[in-house]
Amino acid sequence: MAGELEGLALLPLRHDCFQKEATLARTNYSFEKRRRELAKKKKKEEKRQRKEEKAKSEPRESEEPAPEEPRTDEQ
């Protein structure tokens, strides 16, 4: 009889009456963090593409330095 009781001690106790009926889902923080990181990366890439297209469409005025006008000293 003592052997039977020892085997029962190894079984996990399941008491359905002690479990909560409505348990709230826990937030998966690593998933949320990854989702935020991907959103930031996407936004940064879109911004880079906008800048690149803007640079292509606008001619650069400051590529060559403007020649300096000769100075005249008037005294």
Output the DSSP codes for 9-36: HTSPP--GGGS-SSPPPPP-HHHHHHHH
Reading the chain (75 residues) residue by residue, the pLDDT tens digits are 555 555 555 555 565 555 656 677 888 899 999 999 999 999 999 999 999 999 998 876 655 556 677 677 665
The CA distance from 75 to 64, in Å, is 33
CA–CA separation, 22 and 74 (whole Å) = 90
